[in-house]
Structure 1
Amino acid sequence: MTAARPRSSNRLKPSAPAVPPRRFAIVGAGMAGVACARTLAQAGHSVTLFEKSLQAGGRSSAQASPFGSFDSGAQYFTVRDERFQKALDTVPGLCRPWSATTVRVLDAAGRVATAAPPPVEAHWVAAPTMDALVQAWAEPLAREGRLHTRTAVTHIERDTLHPNAWQLRTETLDGGRQVHAGFDGVVLTQPAPLSLALLQQSGVATPWDAALAGVDIAPCWTLMLAYAQAVRPGLTTLGPQWNAARSTHHRIAWLARESSKPGRTQIERWTVQASPAWSLEHLDDTAARVQGKLLKAFSEVTGIRATPTHSEVRRWRYAQTQKPLGHSFLWDGALGLGACGDWCLGHRLEDAFVSGLELALAVA
């Protein structure tokens, strides 16, 4: 992923399929869903993605504010699989290295306890926000009208006209309802509990229902702060001199200075992610209560006592996999149903990519 690599196109180039072309519906347009969709499309199959959010991105989605963006979910990614590297080469220049060498482990009193060793692999971020990568890969599908955003899938059922096929019932954010029919296969790329819930409310039983139920994914409360009076790089006095930290504070697991990431605006901004245990304990607290508690913890860890110009929180009900599936994907050829996501292998963005890719390769 260097400047010396040749430029390549991000267009979908169908190849001769190993099997006759089929129609697939993919529920969820995060990293796994888009990786699966683009691979199936490149193999010559017809793919339609359904995403309940405003745009593709999933757990890499960013939060906009008047003072700059926040990577409210995934903070960075690493590259260990050469197939992931080859996919990244299709969007040269979009991802940039982010120096995380100043990461420290902090104690509950806010002092630097131990210096973390230098990272053994490069840390990358997409610019201008983390979701730019998924959106770039999804763009050819969107251009061809195969990405339906703001569209939640409410039921999966057998096609009323073709009993061996599937149809999906959907509802848009404005309340519109529609039936999309004629799919040979359906792939669920939501978090495992949501995929299981959709199957159950649809009355669809699969051989891997118990496997889905066994996946454990922890929640995460995320606090986003901006200090409009502080603009880098001239700033030298507000807060610590590190840009990211893994914290042992009982409320906070991770802190990152958003303005230190390449391609971002220079207004001082922080993303603070609560620990899995604390997030679970306070899962149903009000946003105001969570914001107050995390802001206090942030001050304790960083020493920043100034009142932020902007402060908001976001709750991820399913954020970080604690107990993965242990296989890269699930697929039942007889039913024409499958599931994939980072939760199959772990919690890294590359895990989501590999999961989606390998499911598509298995069925293409």
Structure 2
Amino acid sequence: MPNPSSPQVAVIGAGLAGIACARTLTRAGASVRVFEKALKVGGRMGSRQTPFGSFDHGAQAFTVRDPRFETALRTVPESIARWSTPAVHVVDPLGRITEAADRSEVRWVGTPAMEALPRAWAAPLADAGALVLGTRVQVVERDAVDSSRWQLQTLGDDGSVRVFAGFDAVLFATPASQAADVLERSRLAPTFVERLRGIEVAPCWTLMLAFPQAATALGPAWNAAFSAHHRVAWVARESSKPGRGPVERWTVHASPAWSQEHAGDDPQRVEAKLRKAFAEVTGIRAEPSHTAVKLWRHAKTLTPLGRPHLWDARLGLGACGDWCLGHRAEHAFVSGLELALAALAR
């Protein structure tokens, strides 16, 4: 049950930024409710489960540069592992290595799948009943009982409309355009809306392929590469990651420009084009037993905010996300952490 004497905070979005924000607030004694339109936490730190094994179809790996991120990761050592097998190469459109492997920075993954990390950090929130999943925030408005506080109008997956009230602060941890949509609909914070509309983010089509019939590893000697192919930006052998199943599986991220150009295309057409590009880059022309595609509409920040968060102490409104600083998982964590600290200092 919320403690009425503690700051009451609503966090909208349960990706890595939202979980980091809520986790920091809770550890400082605030009472937090986290609202997420999906049915699970993690956002692009999510994983797709299939009969052939998991796919990290969003974030492929993460690096650790900020000491605060490193300290937080130490709290969940069982949920992460060093991706030590592959060196990340740069390859031409035919998969030929054009630059020496990047061995200068360690890459980490969630284990047994990427979603394990946000799930581990969100577990105390779930245990406390602070996660409200499958719920989309439609409007933020002044509380009907106490006009110094906020209330949220929400729409559930089942069509139910609910009102959650009594919040001292409302913090958005969603893609910038989604936060702007809610604020515009709520007729709030026009300065925030203007800043949020200035964030440029590219989509990303993701292709997933499984080859359970393969007795040995298929294709190139490398396991992960940035690609110069006009359709493909990244290719990785999922089965090379620690804690994954042995079935040969590959994930392909389309380039930002190609994804933007084909964002409205039929998924079957996208799949066919990306499979052709995958074969050109890797040399793998075997027929997969499983294929799937997903469009991430808010994947790669092109024009970031340039600061860790937005925060208006007078209104008690804020926004965070990887789009504040860039597009890395670490950017999302730092943004959520720093917004929480700003809200606590109010």
On whether the aligned pair clears a TM of 0.5, the verdict is: yes
Taking the aligned partners of 1:57 and 1:111, their CA distance within structure 2 comes to 31
The AA in structure 2 aligned to 1:56 is V
The AA in structure 2 aligned to 1:112 is R
Contact 1:225 1:270 in 2 (8 A): yes
Segments of 5+ residues of structure 2 without an aligned counterpart are: none
Q: Displacement of 1:152 after TM fit?
A: 1.0
Task: Name which of 87, 105, 128 aligns with 2:90.
Answer: 105
Taking the aligned partners of 2:41 and 2:252, their CA distance within structure 1 comes to 23
Taking the aligned partners of 2:278 and 2:81, their CA distance within structure 1 comes to 27
Taking the aligned partners of 1:147 and 1:111, their CA distance within structure 2 comes to 44
Q: Which piece of structure 1 moves more, 146-155 or 271-280? A: 146-155
Q: Number of paired residues? A: 342
The AA in structure 2 aligned to 1:335 is L
Task: Name which of 30, 47, 54 aligns with 1:62.
Answer: 47
Q: Displacement of 1:118 after TM fit?
A: 2.9
Q: Does 1:76 align with 2:61?
A: yes
Match of 1:161 in 2: 145
Match of 1:286 in 2: 266
Q: Does 1:354 align with 2:334?
A: yes
Match of 2:71 in 1: 86
Match of 1:296 in 2: 276
The AA in structure 1 aligned to 2:200 is D
Match of 1:11 in 2: none
Segments of 5+ residues of structure 1 without an aligned counterpart are: 1-19
Task: Name which of 240, 246, 249 aligns with 1:266.
Answer: 246
The AA in structure 2 aligned to 1:283 is A
Contact 1:103 1:115 in 2 (8 A): no
Match of 2:161 in 1: 177
Match of 1:127 in 2: 111
Match of 1:275 in 2: 255
Q: Displacement of 1:101 after TM fit?
A: 4.6
Task: Name which of 193, 199, 211 aligns with 2:195.
Answer: 211
Taking the aligned partners of 1:287 and 1:202, their CA distance within structure 2 comes to 34
Q: Displacement of 1:230 after TM fit?
A: 1.9
Match of 1:259, SS?
helix
Residue by residue over 1:299-342, the C-alpha shift from the partner in whole angstroms, topping out at 9 and shown as x without a partner, is 11111111110001000011010111000011001111000001
Task: Name which of 167, 173, 178 aligns with 1:194.
Answer: 178
Task: Name which of 183, 205, 225 aligns with 2:209.
Answer: 225
Contact 2:57 2:208 in 1 (8 A): yes
The AA in structure 1 aligned to 2:272 is G
Match of 1:330 in 2: 310
Map 1:21-60 onto structure 2 (within 5 A): 21-60=6-45
Cα RMSD between the aligned structures? 1.5
TM-score (norm 2): 0.96
Taking the aligned partners of 2:86 and 2:239, their CA distance within structure 1 comes to 16
Identity score, percent? 56
TM-score (norm 1): 0.91
Taking the aligned partners of 2:159 and 2:288, their CA distance within structure 1 comes to 37
